[in-house]
Amino acid sequence: MSCIMTQYVLPKLPYDYHELEQFMDAETLQIHHQKFHQTYVDGLNKSLRNIGGEFHPKYITSILSDLNSIPTSARGDIVFFGGGYENHRLYWETLSPTTHKKPTGKLADSIDLYFGNFETFQEKFTKQSLSIEGSGWCWMVFNPTFQRIEIMITVNNESPWSINKIPLLCIDMWEHAYYLKYQNNKPDYVKAWWNVINWEYVMDRFCELGN
Ligand code: MN
């Protein structure tokens, strides 16, 4: 029997599938986590194996930040599966059944500074997420060049890391994230999502950057 080193694995959710029920149904979460996210985990491991990088010493965010270090032929797969792996990891971590509804402290100050107030930030973020045509993600990122938070969108599974932005919060705008409960009603999905954000986690990420 050969010894195969474990590579990326499906992360455990920090809550049970039913715990977000009022806003995100258990069936959607379970399929999303066990089927879709697992596909990205497997695809990432396979993509790395294909280029002999299965023991790549760098974590996927570092690889996504330096795509030139990956052979051109494999870049598309790494962006798709690596982004899919990491985007979902963050998405799960930034959800919580017990939430404070709003950030506080330095992140709240930063939102006020760049967006006026939290409600305006929410409106702008919602508008951007709903502007995505097809599959994609909407993000709150930290821009290290300008030392400020920003809202941005990416298509498919592309990652902000690849354009030197650090993800703090994200919403999955692929149809598989909401279709069972919300069908084509994307606005209701986004509206519900605001109720289950783990602001503690997002604020910790923001502070870890030295803010
Ligand atoms: Mn997804």
Domain spans, the chain: 25-211
> What is the Å distance from ligand 1's center to 146 Cα?
30
Domain 25-211 fold is minor pseudopilin epsh fold (3.55.40)
> What is the Å distance from ligand 1's center to 40 Cα?
9
Please give the pLDDT value at position 3.
Answer: 42
84 torsion bin: left (phi>0), alpha (psi -120 to 50), beta (else): alpha
- Percent pLDDT > 70 in the chain is 97
Q: Which residues pair with 137 in a beta bridge?
A: 154, 172
pLDDT confidence band for 110 (50 / 70 / 90): very high
When comparing pLDDT for 6 and 162, which is higher?
162
> What is the Å distance from ligand 1's center to 7 Cα?
21
> What is the Å distance from ligand 1's center to 79 Cα?
14
Helix boundaries (H) for the chain: 26-31, 38-50, 60-65, 72-77, 83-93, 105-115, 118-130, 179-182, 186-193, 199-208
Please give the pLDDT value at position 4.
Answer: 47
> What is the Å distance from ligand 1's center to 32 Cα?
6
> What is the Å distance from ligand 1's center to 81 Cα?
11
> What is the Å distance from ligand 1's center to 104 Cα?
28
Rounded to the nearest angstrom, the gap between the alpha carbon of residue 44 and the centroid of all alpha carbons in its chain is 16
C-alpha 120/C-alpha 122 separation (Å) is 5
Q: Tell me the pLDDT of the chain averaged across its residues.
A: 94
C-alpha 175/C-alpha 6 separation (Å) is 30
Please give the pLDDT value at position 2.
Answer: 40
> What is the Å distance from ligand 1's center to 4 Cα?
28
> What is the Å distance from ligand 1's center to 87 Cα?
8
CA dihedral sign of residues 154, 175, 9, 94? positive
> What is the Å distance from ligand 1's center to 116 Cα?
31
The region of weakest confidence among 44-53, 136-145, 152-161 is 44-53
C-alpha 82/C-alpha 8 separation (Å) is 10
> What is the Å distance from ligand 1's center to 110 Cα?
28
When comparing pLDDT for 68 and 5, which is higher?
68
* pLDDT of 80 over the 50 cut: yes
> What is the Å distance from ligand 1's center to 21 Cα?
17
Amino acid at residue number 23? F
pTM score of the predicted model: 0.95
> What is the Å distance from ligand 1's center to 105 Cα?
30
**Is the distance from CB of 62 to CB of 100 less than 8 angstroms?**
no
- Percent pLDDT > 90 in the chain is 89
Across 39-54, average pLDDT: 92
> What is the Å distance from ligand 1's center to 171 Cα?
9
* pLDDT of 6 over the 70 cut: no
**Is the distance from CB of 166 to CB of 144 less than 8 angstroms?**
yes
> What is the Å distance from ligand 1's center to 176 Cα?
6
Please give the pLDDT value at position 53.
Answer: 80
**Is the distance from CB of 108 to CB of 139 less than 8 angstroms?**
no
The region of weakest confidence among 105-109, 147-151, 153-157, 181-185 is 181-185
Tens digit of pLDDT for each residue in 87-105? 999 999 999 999 888 999 9
